[in-house]
Amino acid sequence: MAGRKSKKQKILDDALVQKDFERERVIEILKNLNRYTPVLHPLIELYLDACEVYYIKYSEWKDTGFRSTKQHTNKNGSRNEMKHPLAQQVEVWSEKKAKLLNALGLDMKHGELATADPLNAEHKRDQEKKNDEPEEQSGRLIQFKKMAGGSK
């Protein structure tokens, strides 16, 4: 009989689901760009590990209400505000993810990335189909201009 999951275990399970989703997404994008090779697997795994840690830290920070600072009492007894440790970790792991995406060629520095999205590819196919249709069906304004004797 399965017992209730602790909050931490639920976060870990969600992170694994997120990691699997991200793996499929990255591989699909690399294949669409014709850049996918098995040689990239170690780099992809590093990226996925960074995603998993980022997701866990982000979820923990979210549970604290996204506090940006935390009260700290030093040895002298005075209280100081310092940057929240989870906020710091989220920032660090976000930067690591960005560097690994750059190494995979999946950042905006690579121009053809905008066309790699599967949804964008479907949109392009739909646009090409519309462009293949006869021009007279393309718009009411053009039909009106033809009837009125204007250009086109």
DSSP assignment of 112-123, as one string? GGGG--HHHHHH
Distances (CA, A) of 102 to 9, 32, 49, 126: 31, 17, 16, 30
- Nearest in space to 32 (alpha carbons), one of 119, 97, 107: 119
User: Does residue 74 contact residue 80 with C-beta atoms inside 8 Å?
Assistant: yes
Residue 75, both tokens: 């040895």
7-56 pLDDT per residue, tens: 889 999 999 999 999 999 999 999 998 999 999 999 999 999 999 999 99
- Nearest in space to 88 (alpha carbons), one of 133, 131, 58: 58
DSSP state of 72: E
pTM above 0.75, yes or no: no
62-110 pLDDT per residue, tens: 999 999 999 999 999 999 999 999 999 999 999 999 999 999 988 888 7
Q: Pick the more confident residue, 120 or 95.
A: 95
Binned at pLDDT 50, 70 and 90, residue 1 comes out as very low
Residue 136 has pLDDT above 90, yes or no: no
